[in-house]
Amino acid sequence: MTVIDGKKIAADIRAELKKKIEKLKTEGNNVPGLVAVLVGEDPASKVYVGMKQKACDEVGLLSKVERLSADTTEKELLMLIDKYNNDNSFHGILVQLPLPKHIDEDAIIEAILPEKDVDGFHPVNIGNMMIGKETLYPCTPHGVVELLKRYNIETKGKHVVVVGRSNIVGKPVANMLLQKKEGANAVVTVVHSAAENLAYFTKQADILIAAIGVPLFIKADMVKEGVVVIDVGVNRVDDSTAKKGYKLVGDVDFENVSKKASYITPVPGGVGPMTIAMLLSNTFKSFNKLNVKNN
């Protein structure tokens, strides 16, 4: 059994990007720019934005954080997005979700130029992904696919079972893996809470992707020997022995499922670090596309 080291792969991707950005600077070129917009005081969102800014600084990206109060109106936020849509110094715009309830998240996502939508949530980018066109992919699903590629895990003709159908992970990762291209071309089943016997499907998986948001949901008796397990879940569970009073666990019972798996991602340290790495990668991709377009 091999534990898939998402921290290492994410560090490799950041190092690759850093080299490319240093080359741009040496040649006297502009560098990719990413602006993150944080509305309100959600503690988790503040942590995520801080991590993203730190990663930008590490690789040499131009980064900026716009911190707005929780009572910012939807109109004010739309005006800010429009400003950055027209600012050629910034190639990626990220609005940290969730937003306060009075702001329509869909309206905000759709206001970002598709070419600057480095989260990969804009309907244009989702549509391009669906039909197999090159685009800005949602970061967590993209990170899952990249992990499989970098560990040389064969996907062609393999049965991938995705547990969960969210717009952020389940649906996009299923679509990415069924495309007729290298690193995909899998036979994909999406299973969710409506299934009468969910284990019937998970036991068939050559590659199981758990993204259901339920702590330790996938047990050893729900998978077959030799399965590849990608655990996207990040759940807080109370733990009186931990310094913070809680610990992070995935959607998979790692301790027991790992005994049957050929490859498995841990939580933390598996898929999580890949999300920010792919955000940086998307920003670099957007920078290249926009430079071609504007020249």
**Residues with catalytic annotation?**
52, 96, 119
DSSP 216: T
CA distance 47 to 104: 23
Cα-Cα end-to-end distance for the chain = 50
Residue with tokens 């940290």: 96
Helix axes 6-26, 43-59, angle to 10 degrees: 50
Backbone angles phi, psi at 103, to 5 degrees: -110, 130
CA atoms within 13 A on the CB side of 80: 20
Are residues 68 and 7 in contact, defined by beta-carbon separation less than 8 angstroms?
A: no
3-state secondary structure of 178: helix
DSSP 230: E
CA distance 28 to 210: 44
Cα–Cα separations (whole angstroms), residue 57 to 31, 229, 255: 12, 32, 36
CA distance 83 to 79: 6
